[in-house]
Structure 1
Amino acid sequence: MPIQILSYTNLHRHADEIIHFSSTRVGGISSGEFASLNLGNYSSDLRENIDHNRQLLCNELGIAFSTLIGTHQMHTTNVKEIDEALLAMPEPERKAAVEGFDAVITRVRGICITTTTADCVPILLFDPLQKAVAAIHSGWKGTLNNITAATIDKMQERFGTDPHTLIAAIGPCISGEVYEVGEDLYQQFQEKGFDVSRYFRPKSGGKYLFDVRAVVFDELRAKGVKDIEVSTHCTYSEPELFFSARRQGIRSGRLLSGIGLRK
């Protein structure tokens, strides 16, 4: 079965300048909880399966395997710039250099920066004026601490990005219809000044349904981003298409979203 990947209309308008995608679980060779297109480098799937699946993705995108660049995400707000110096490092040094970052930015052409998810929110950004891109992983912790704003701030600092010109895509994630959380999470967002009545819908037993995707959308808007496309896919509710750590457990496969500047 061929692999199935998603794209975004607003980013696709710039297909002559960038490549981009969000993966599904369809079309790979992994089995069990990882069936079938598991792309997570830090999952406990067999290494040869992950590499095979990533090669299938690269074949579909028409890029070299070595150009997929990601980090080991740790639910931080740390942002890593991928530059020529980092790419020139020996593999062990480069692996250590990208430990603990949940957002990646670059102006280097010919690579594809990625973010790994399995319910959390993937965000892709393109700056068509300064020719820069970003890939962001925003789980509830990253959303609480606004990794999106931290990433845009870093793009402004490093590249001179004007947020008003950014093109953004919010990828498949767990939806507010099914993302059940407890009182502790509600209180953390309330204490940070979020409009909890907008993002949390009360249920019985001190539980809430949390719309993390809506928070990310508003965080982009608050930074001045106007062109935002939002995927309506729910990773939890569409098991035939997506991995979900909430549905499957921590050993589930991982999805990948990526963006890169063409050479």
Structure 2
Amino acid sequence: MEPFVLKTDTELALLMLEPWKHYRGITAGFTGRHGGSGKLPYDTLNCAFHVGDDPNDVIDNRSKVAEMLGYSLESWTCGEQVHSRDIAIVREEDVGRGCRDRSSAIQDTDGLLTDVPGVLLTSFYADCVPLYFYDPVKQVVGLAHAGWKGTVAQIALHMVQKMEQQYGSHSYDIVAAIGPSIGSCCYEVDDVVMSKVYDLEKRVMGNEKYSSSWYVNKKDGKSMLNLKEMNRHLMIKAGILPIHIECTTWCTSCNNDLFFSFRKDGGVTGRMASWIGLK
């Protein structure tokens, strides 16, 4: 069953992480591309500043999303993503960083963690993989942005380790989710990327072979890569129970009517936002 469900009672394209609704005091989900203020080619719910959209439209879109979730714009907190595995701890003094401009965002980070209520952690996507983490025992939430670089750098594994070190989380308590992103049906990569994938498979997985679910090699030297499955296995390797991991079936490229897709839109497009927060 698809865990990210599109709301039908609002003009904003919001996909809620439905299986986590039974957890009290938490919100988590993903935005689509409709219901906002943006103009072509960013129409209409672009949530990122760095793509060239009108900053006022971006602020308006973020405000609309936050309001729908019961938060203020000033609670919207984000990092300046660089395809790394670096993870920042968001404390009370960090709340609202990056909500109105790029310069105040938490710099050089692709992962965010917090135990502070009232913070809306956010990150941005147009094909890369959003990863969600929640420890219901320690009341800690986290987001990670995983393109192929972040995936092979094992940001999923580092997120779990950071939760253990910083908050005393136990991996078996953590629940995780993998959100809408480009699927193996559409994500063709070259041998430069695959060399990193093979290296990860050898170094991290040892004798365990997941090639049948990670990638399919083509006759032309290219491969179709499954970043969702790679991240799922890295979560399991980090100690998260398989039954605690929700994984989407949405492909952002196949469903370009609902999502921005860097590949499908030819590189000039908006960005969706993932979000997670403690009430």
Normalising by the smaller structure, the TM-score range is over 0.9
Distance change in 2, residues 1:242/1:89 (3 Å): closer
1:167 matched to 2:166? The reply is: no
Instruction: Please give the TM-score of this superposition, normalised by the length of structure 2.
Output: 0.88
Distance 1:90 1:216 in 2: 27
Q: Say whether the 8 Å CA contact 1:115–1:135 is kept in structure 2.
A: yes
1:260 maps to a residue whose letter is G
Q: Which residue of 2 aligns with 1:206?
A: 221
Distance 1:249 1:153 in 2: 36
Report the Cα offset of residue 197 of structure 1.
2.4
RMSD: 2.1
Unaligned runs of 5+ in 1: none
Taking only the aligned residue pairs, the percentage that are identical comes to 27
Distance change in 2, residues 1:73/1:184 (3 Å): same
Matching residue within 105, 122, 131 for 2:130: 122
* Structure 1 residue runs of 4 or more that deviate by more than 4 Å after TM superposition: 88-92, 94-97
The structure that is helix-richer by fraction is 1
1:259 matched to 2:276? The reply is: yes
Q: Which residue of 2 aligns with 1:228?
A: 245
Q: Say whether the 8 Å CA contact 2:38–2:45 is kept in structure 1.
A: yes
Q: Say whether the 8 Å CA contact 2:77–2:95 is kept in structure 1.
A: no
Q: What are the equivalent positions in structure 2 for 1:93-172 lying under 5 Å apart?
A: 95=103, 98-172=106-180
Distance 1:115 1:186 in 2: 26
Q: Which residue of 2 aligns with 1:77?
A: 85
Report the Cα offset of residue 96 of structure 1.
5.3
Report the Cα offset of residue 97 of structure 1.
6.6
Distance 1:91 1:171 in 2: 22
Distance 2:153 2:99 in 1: 31
How many residues of Structure 1 are paired with residues of Structure 2 in the alignment?
A: 261
Report the Cα offset of residue 90 of structure 1.
11
Q: Say whether the 8 Å CA contact 1:21–1:257 is kept in structure 2.
A: yes
Matching residue within 22, 44, 49 for 1:13: 22
Distance 2:50 2:97 in 1: 20
Distance 1:8 1:97 in 2: 25
Q: Say whether the 8 Å CA contact 1:77–1:147 is kept in structure 2.
A: yes
Distance 2:246 2:87 in 1: 22
23-32 or 95-104, which deviates more = 95-104
Q: Say whether the 8 Å CA contact 1:42–1:72 is kept in structure 2.
A: no
1:216 matched to 2:231? The reply is: yes
Unaligned runs of 5+ in 2: 1-9
2:132 maps to a residue whose letter is L
